[in-house]
Amino acid sequence: MKPNIRIGYGVDVHQLAVGYPLWIGGTQLEAPFGAVGHSDADVLLHAICDALLGALALRDIGFHFSDQDPQYKGIDSKILLKRVFELIQQQGYGIINIDATVILETPKVNPHIPAMQQIIADILQVEIEDISIKATTHEKVDSFGEKRAIKAYAVALLYKL
């Protein structure tokens, strides 16, 4: 008999460009550039969505919210995360914890982590200590270090209700 826990992994990358807002973890950060995408391009929430979906073999965020569908143009990724959470609940699962890392050279993400944790915890109906967010740079190496891109990784652990 299989144990009643499931793990999922997610990753997301977006190009950075002037003229776009920078949304990370449901929080808008002040920056002279932002992430380019069909939605609000929140890499952290997208990676978390993919981790949650992956844990239950429900494909990926693009399958559920196509970038070819105009209804998702500019959509707030907090809405997408809420919808993914509803799918998880429909499958009879709850969230044990999420661990995520954001890769961005600048601006600094660390001062915003508590607000991001609270936003995500509220949407996913878990305690703030169940949401781990870390931030790192790419030491000025490649597109991430050169401030041309942003990336996030996430892992989600789920349990059968």
**Interval 29-49: pLDDT, tens:** 999 999 999 999 999 999 999
Q: What is the mean pLDDT of residues 68-96?
A: 96
Q: pTM of the full predicted structure?
A: 0.96
Summarised one tens digit per residue, pLDDT across range 85-140 is 999 999 999 999 999 999 999 999 999 999 999 999 999 999 999 999 999 998 78
In which domain, by residue range, is 59 found? 5-160
d(CA 52, CA 30): 28
Q: Classify the C-alpha dihedral 94-87-54-60 as positive or negative.
A: negative
Cβ-proximal residues to 137 (8 Å cutoff; 6+ apart), any chain: 103, 104, 105, 106, 144, 145
Q: At 15, which helix (H) or strand (E)?
A: strand 5-17
Among the listed ranges 43-52, 76-85, 138-147, which one has the minimum average pLDDT value? 138-147
Lowest mean pLDDT segment, chosen from 9-13, 47-51, 63-67, 135-139: 135-139
- Average pLDDT, integer, range 48-62: 97
Q: Which among 55, 44, 61, 48 has a CA at the least distance from the CA of 10? A: 48
Tokens found for residue 133? 């967010």
CATH of the domain at 124: 3.30.1330.50
Number of domains in the chain: 1
On average, the pLDDT of the chain sits at: 95
